[in-house]
């Protein structure tokens, strides 16, 4: 099971870079999801990460395909109202594309359109989606039965949820507040890393 850290757009470029560099060896990927930052800030962040030894292969850029192309970042994550998978794949087939989905049908469509992975959510109750009912784990079972591409789960994934997620064979978990809102992101990431490894 892989571990993807998803940034929460709450820190300065400098703070965020330090945090990611600090957890880089415990995570498989970091999704840069900084919707209020300018293109220049995101470019600076990526430069800091590279200087800090974070490999480009570990970086996933949310929404901004242009910055991915200019900085040679191999993977973009397309939000639900973002660019379409088909357009991206048609113009830039070398770019890996992930897609947020909220149902089994959504995941099927994403795979058919050429997505390289899906990020399914939100699984459990989470502070970042307070008013929305979670979609639960059931769709993951269907996805794992019918999809060839990896399925990641997101939304309220605390340490005690990991065992159940492993049982439905999810390929990875994505964690935002569990890491970036934690009192100690390094310690918290290490706990996720150990839980995944030894569960």
**How big is the site for a second copy, counted in residues (CB under 8 A)?**
20
Task: Please report whether residue 34 would count as binding a second copy according to CB under 8 A.
Answer: no
Annotated active-site residue 122? The verdict is yes
Task: Please report whether residue 53 would count as binding a second copy according to CB under 8 A.
Answer: no
The number of CA neighbours under 13 Å toward the Cβ of 80 is 9
Pick the closer one to a second copy by CB: 24 or 89.
Answer: 89
Task: Please report whether residue 39 would count as binding a second copy according to CB under 8 A.
Answer: yes
DSSP-assigned letters across all residues of the chain: -EEEEE--S-S-HHHHHHHHHHHTTT-SEEEE--TTS-HHHHHHHHHHHHHTT--GGGEEEES-HHHHHHHT--EEEE-TTS--HHHHHHH-TTSEEEEEESSHHHHHHHHHHT-SEEEE---S--GGGTTSPP--SHHHHHHHHH-SS-EEEESS--GGGHHHHHHTT-SEEEESHHHHTSSSHHHHHHHHHHHHHH-
Which residues ranging from 73 to 102 are in contact with a second copy (CB under 8 A)?
Answer: 79, 81-84, 87-88, 91
Task: Please report whether residue 64 would count as binding a second copy according to CB under 8 A.
Answer: yes
Rg (CA), the chain: 16
Among 21, 69, 141, 149, binds a second copy (CB under 8 A): 69
CB of 179 to a second copy, least distance (A): 26
Q: Which of 102, 122, 146, 163 is catalytic?
A: 122
Among 70, 167, 197, 199, binds a second copy (CB under 8 A): 70
CB of 85 to a second copy, least distance (A): 11
Task: Please report whether residue 30 would count as binding a second copy according to CB under 8 A.
Answer: no
Task: Please report whether residue 65 would count as binding a second copy according to CB under 8 A.
Answer: yes
Task: Please report whether residue 125 would count as binding a second copy according to CB under 8 A.
Answer: no
Task: Please report whether residue 169 would count as binding a second copy according to CB under 8 A.
Answer: no
d(CA 67, CA 76): 10
The site for a second copy (CB under 8 A) is made up of 38-41, 43, 63-67, 69-70, 79, 81-84, 87-88, 91
Please list the active-site residues: 122
């Amino acid at each position: 099971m892989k571990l993807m850290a998803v940034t929460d757009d709450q820190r300065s470029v400098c703070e965020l870079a330090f945090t990611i560099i600090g957890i880089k060896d415990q995570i498989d990927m970091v999704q840069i999801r900084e919707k209020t930052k300018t293109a220049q800030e995101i470019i600076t962040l990526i430069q800091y990460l590279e200087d800090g030894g974070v490999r480009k292969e570990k970086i996933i850029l949310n929404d901004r395909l242009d910055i991915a192309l200019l900085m040679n970042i191999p993977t973009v994550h397309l939000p639900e109202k973002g660019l379409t998978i088909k357009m991206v794949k048609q113009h830039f087939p070398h770019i890996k594309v992930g897609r947020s989905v909220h149902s089994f049908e959504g995941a099927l469509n994403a795979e058919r359109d050429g997505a390289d992975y899906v990020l399914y959510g939100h699984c459990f109750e989470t502070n970042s989606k307070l008013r929305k009912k979670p979609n639960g784990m059931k769709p993951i079972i269907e996805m794992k039965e019918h999809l060839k591409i990896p399925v990641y789960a997101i939304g309220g994934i605390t340490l005690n949820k990991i065992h159940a997620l492993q049982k439905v064979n999810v390929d990875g978990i994505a964690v935002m507040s569990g890491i970036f809102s934690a009192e100690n992101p390094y310690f918290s990431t290490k706990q996720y890393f150990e839980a995944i490894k030894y569960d």
